[in-house]
Structure 1
Amino acid sequence: MSQGTPRRGPRPLPLHLGLMAMRRWMAMAALPLLASKPGSPGSSSGWPRSRPAAMARIAQKLEAGGHAPEAFAAAVFEALNRADAGLLSGITAYRRHPSRREEPDLPVAWAEGGSRLLDYGGEGPVVLVVPSLINRASILDLQPGASLLRYLAGEGLRVLLLDWGEPGPVERGFGLADYIAGRLERALAVAAADGPVLLAGYCMGGLLTLAAAQRQPGRVRGLALLATPWDFWAEAPERARAIGAMLRGLEPLLAATGALPVDTIQALFALPDPFAIAAKYRSFGELDPDSLRARRFVALEDWLNDGIALAAPVARECLGGWYGANTPARGEWRILGEAVAPGRLTCPTFLAIPERDRIVPPASALALATALPGPLVHHAAAGHIGMVAGQGAEAALWQPLRHWMVGLGL
């Protein structure tokens, strides 16, 4: 994010403000039901006879404790006011924070369309790092002290990053095969000009690198899969199928724009815990804005809110295929007619499983432990993002990953 660009987060802002209002409306609707008593003026509709037993017990406890309904209602609204003010204060503090990421000026080893192969330098075995298609690659080089790529480049590895870039008019017609058999494999050919390289994929990037490693085994010395989903039905299969079912409703938007917009993607990510965004912004509003924790929060939120739209064909494959039909784990995900089969890989593999991952359930990523032949499985004491860019990322992932990579390169 450049110095002059105004912040837009948390995205989609109308969703989070709407949830705040919805919670207040629900409280307003529930309070009279809690306070009503048999025979009271407000109970002429017959509600007390049908009032759930749980609500009746709450009302009895309030009365037994000497809490008048009016006092209880006032306390509820006071708590809601504090929470809402905290959220708005946190959003305002985030948007006004002076911290901005400086875009690095790096050599470009290869470019095609909006995609670039960025050279982070370093001496040693070559590693090509591949991020997701729906977020900026900058999560891997977030800020000083929070850069997996610069750490690896300073610890005995030559680091290249595939920055996918924004989907332009050409890329909006791309499917997964275009990205994997096209952009990724051509970048891999450049990276492996002097011999096989280490390939590392983060999140969705792990699925892309897995397919590329199967198709180009002679160019891959080892494969690291970081928080990479595989069995999309391993946890909460109903939720995964529900996401897949949303595709039908999204079709008019995909057809009109050629892509799944960033705000829609962010709304899908918020579904499992829609109030979590508000909670973290309230907490941020209480931080010292000059603290390391506050600056890290701002850097991470800037990255999250500066997402990338997903090409419509890719969105259909991911939502309908991966989530809706669980095609990877069922052996039905194909690239140019060839099934992606982890068991066919012959190179060494490293699996990093974040124990507190709320984006890729650990069970989904762990499914690769049995699908791959003899991987090294590393359980990281972190979340999905914290594993690569959190304050404990060096111990959680960077050091174990570097140790594995350097060991393979000797």
Structure 2
Amino acid sequence: MLRSETATNPDRLRAALTGLKRYQSHDRTARPTPPPAILQVGRAMLRDYGGEGPPALFVPSLINPPHVLDLAKGNSLLRWLSTQGVRPMLLDWGAPAAGERDMDVGGHVESFLLPMLRDLGEPVSLVGYCIGGTMTIAAAARHPVRSLTLIAAPWHFSGFPKASRDDLTGLWHQVEATAETLGVLPMEALQASFWRLDPARTIRKFEDFGGLPEGDPRIDAFIALEDWANDGPPLTHAAGRQLLVEMFGNDVTGQGRWTVAGAVVDPAALDCPVLDIASLTDRIVPAASACRIGEQMQLDLGHVGMIVGSRARKALWEPLAHWLSQPRKR
């Protein structure tokens, strides 16, 4: 990808390699220590960030670690919300255990998220990010919640560009034999497909990073975000197949054919307040794939920028705090 993007410009090649070398070798700033778990169901843990106010359970994607919501000192959505009349809690999916190869995306809802909601003993607000949002729709259809917030959550997978969908389903066919042998889909395979969604931007960001002056605070911010993006446990074999083949390939959710806990998930039947947040400039989860239910909010920030970018607080954090802190009828 680097060769193809810089084939006609050796200076760009050198700049990108300089940025890559800096990323590989630069000292790391320690991430915030996550709070201890208050609840554990199997390998999944629930971490309580404290705060006075209504409880909100944040559900991250199965892809990449959950700490993008608590990325760095001074750039943590969850720690900020805990000072704004909300009690945020974060679900940490953990890494697939032996014997879980047949647990698909819906199975994670059934085995971990729904038991946690029951064990909490009171209705909470659900907040789902990316594929985590897709999963919270299923959970809210099976368990009473105060409200549901979807952040860049795909539902109509037919809204993705056809080339992207074909690329992801093609990825499954390339790695299926390996996933079958291992019982998991390695994160590295998924990350390569994400790079290909926007190869020009992937190379350009390393060019720009290599040119930052030493001591620039953007260096630590870039490294923290890239370390998150390049990390994460694998997906179970069944979750990888369901995501890439059934969701991206066949749009089972948008076609009304996704079954969780014994019944088809119908977002239109939800009886809780819903806030559906999508971005018109999201290249990872395009706005056309959103569920489009309840109250809708449109942004002009990237998929990750809406969570940790310089404009995130004004554009997403503050409206989200207002939504989550509102009193709700029980």
TM-score normalised to the size of structure 1? 0.77
Question: Which ranges in structure 2 are unaligned for 5 or more consecutive residues?
Answer: none
Q: Give the letter aligned to residue 284 of structure 2.
A: I
Say whether 1:98 aligns with 2:23. Answer: no
Corresponding residue of 2:324:
405
Corresponding residue of 1:212:
139
Q: Give the letter aligned to residue 2 of structure 2.
A: M
Tell me if the contact between 1:203 and 1:226 (Cα under 8 Å) persists in the aligned partners.
Answer: yes
Corresponding residue of 1:56:
none
The CA deviation string for residues 155-184 of structure 1, in whole angstroms up to 9 with x for no partner, is 001111101111121433322232101100
Distance 1:126 1:88, change over 3 A: same
1:102 Cα deviation from its structure 2 partner: 2.7
235-244 or 330-339, larger mean C-alpha shift:
235-244
Corresponding residue of 1:13:
none
Q: Cα RMSD between the aligned structures?
A: 1.8
1:23 Cα deviation from its structure 2 partner: 5.4
CA–CA separation in structure 1 for the residues paired with 2:163 and 2:221: 34
Say whether 1:276 aligns with 2:258. Answer: no
CA–CA separation in structure 1 for the residues paired with 2:100 and 2:51: 31
Q: What SS does structure 2 have at the residue aligned with 1:394?
A: helix
1:242 Cα deviation from its structure 2 partner: 4.4
Greater helix proportion: 1
1:20 Cα deviation from its structure 2 partner: 2.7
CA–CA separation in structure 2 for the residues paired with 1:338 and 1:402: 32
1:307 Cα deviation from its structure 2 partner: 2.2
Say whether 1:200 aligns with 2:119. Answer: no
197-206 or 302-311, larger mean C-alpha shift:
302-311
Question: Which ranges in structure 1 are unaligned for 5 or more consecutive residues?
Answer: 1-18, 28-75
Higher gyration radius (CA) = 1
Tell me if the contact between 2:29 and 2:220 (Cα under 8 Å) persists in the aligned partners.
Answer: no
Distance 1:22 1:102, change over 3 A: closer
Corresponding residue of 2:60:
131
Q: Work out the percentage of aligned pairs sharing the same amino acid.
A: 37
Q: Give the letter aligned to residue 266 of structure 2.
A: A
Tell me if the contact between 1:97 and 1:289 (Cα under 8 Å) persists in the aligned partners.
Answer: no
CA–CA separation in structure 2 for the residues paired with 1:278 and 1:23: 7
TM-score normalised to the size of structure 2? 0.94
Q: Give the letter aligned to residue 119 of structure 2.
A: V
The CA deviation string for residues 266-292 of structure 1, in whole angstroms up to 9 with x for no partner, is 111122222322211010011124222
- Where does 1:179-198 land on structure 2 (aligned, <5 Å)? 179-191=108-120, 193=121, 195-198=122-125
Distance 1:408 1:171, change over 3 A: farther
CA–CA separation in structure 2 for the residues paired with 1:352 and 1:146: 20
Q: What SS does structure 1 have at the residue aligned with 2:40?
A: strand
The CA deviation string for residues 365-410 of structure 1, in whole angstroms up to 9 with x for no partner, is 1xx22xx3xx111112311001011111101100001111112458
Tell me if the contact between 2:32 and 2:71 (Cα under 8 Å) persists in the aligned partners.
Answer: no
Say whether 1:20 aligns with 2:2. Answer: yes
Say whether 1:300 aligns with 2:282. Answer: no
Say whether 1:236 aligns with 2:161. Answer: yes
Say whether 1:324 aligns with 2:249. Answer: yes
CA–CA separation in structure 1 for the residues paired with 2:164 and 2:66: 28
Corresponding residue of 1:356:
281
Corresponding residue of 1:225:
150
Q: What SS does structure 2 have at the residue aligned with 1:308?
A: coil
Tell me if the contact between 1:162 and 1:187 (Cα under 8 Å) persists in the aligned partners.
Answer: no
